[in-house]
Amino acid sequence: MGLPMTDHFEARPSRAVFSVAALVRDVAEALANRFAACAVRGEVSGLSRAVSGHFYFTLKDADGGAALIRCAMFRRAASLLDFAPADGQLVELRGRVAVYEARGELQFIVEAMQRAGAGALYEQFLRLRAQLDGLGLFDASRKRRLPVFPLAVGIVTSLGAAALRDVLTTLARRSPHVQAIVYPSLVQGEAAPAALCAVIEQASRRAEVDVLILCRGGGSLEDLWAFNDERVVRAVAACAIPVVCGVGHETDVTLSDLAADLRAPTPTAAAELAAPKTQDGLDLLGMQAVMLQRRVRDALDGHAQRLDRSAQRLARPDARLREHAQRLGLLGQRLASHLPHALALRRARLAQCDVDLKRAAARCLATRAERLERLAARLQALDPQQVLARGYAWLIDDASGRAVTSARQLAPGSRLQAVLADGKAAATVTAVTGNPDSPQTAPA
The model's pLDDT over 187-215, given as tens digits with 9 standing for 90+, comes to 988 899 999 999 999 999 999 999 999 99
Residues 266, 128 share a domain:
yes
Distances (CA, A) of 268 to 18, 64, 106, 160, 275: 50, 34, 36, 16, 11
Residues 131, 104 share a domain:
no
Residues 148, 70 share a domain:
no
| CATH number where 112 lies | 2.40.50.140
Residues 274, 169 share a domain:
yes
Phi, psi of 336 (to 5 degrees): -65, -40
Phi, psi of 301 (to 5 degrees): -60, -45
Q: Which domain holds residue 94?
A: 18-118
Out of 279, 294, 310, pick the residue that ends a domain: 279
Residue 43 near residue 60, CB atoms below 8 Å: yes
Residues 98, 29 share a domain:
yes
Q: What pLDDT, on the 0 to 100 scale, is given for residue 9? A: 41
Whether 218 maps to a domain, the answer reads yes
Residues 148, 57 share a domain:
no
Whether 34 maps to a domain, the answer reads yes
Whether 287 maps to a domain, the answer reads no
pTM of the complete model: 0.48
Whether 63 maps to a domain, the answer reads yes
Q: What pLDDT, on the 0 to 100 scale, is given for residue 437? A: 61
Residues 66, 156 share a domain:
no
Out of 244, 279, 314, pick the residue that ends a domain: 279
CB burial class (10 A; 0-12, 13-18, 19+) of residue 37?
Answer: exposed
Residues 265, 175 share a domain:
yes
Residues 251, 110 share a domain:
no
Q: What pLDDT, on the 0 to 100 scale, is given for residue 157? A: 92
Pairwise CA distance, residues 44 & 37, whole Å:
20
Residues 223, 193 share a domain:
yes
Phi, psi of 276 (to 5 degrees): -70, 160
Q: What pLDDT, on the 0 to 100 scale, is given for residue 436? A: 60
Out of 234, 257, 279, pick the residue that ends a domain: 279
Whether 349 maps to a domain, the answer reads no
Domains contained in the chain, number? 3
Beginning with the edge strand found earlier in the chain, give each strand of the sheet holding 243-247 in spatial order. 179-184, 152-157, 211-216, 243-247, 262-263
Residue 173 near residue 256, CB atoms below 8 Å: no
Residues 250, 190 share a domain:
yes
pLDDT < 50 stretches in the chain: 1-13, 441-444
For 118, other C-beta atoms within 10 Å of its C-beta total 16
Distances (CA, A) of 46 to 150, 176, 258, 325, 438: 36, 35, 21, 99, 138
Residues 256, 137 share a domain:
yes
Return all residues near 259 (Cβ < 8 A) that are at least 6 apart: 132, 137, 138, 233, 234, 236, 237, 243, 245
| CATH number where 189 lies | 3.40.50.261
Q: How confident is the model over 391-432, as pLDDT tens digits?
A: 788 888 888 888 888 888 888 888 888 888 788 888 888 888
Pairwise CA distance, residues 146 & 242, whole Å:
6
Nearest 5 degrees, angle CA 242-CA 244-CA 247? Answer: 150
Whether 265 maps to a domain, the answer reads yes
Whether 1 maps to a domain, the answer reads no
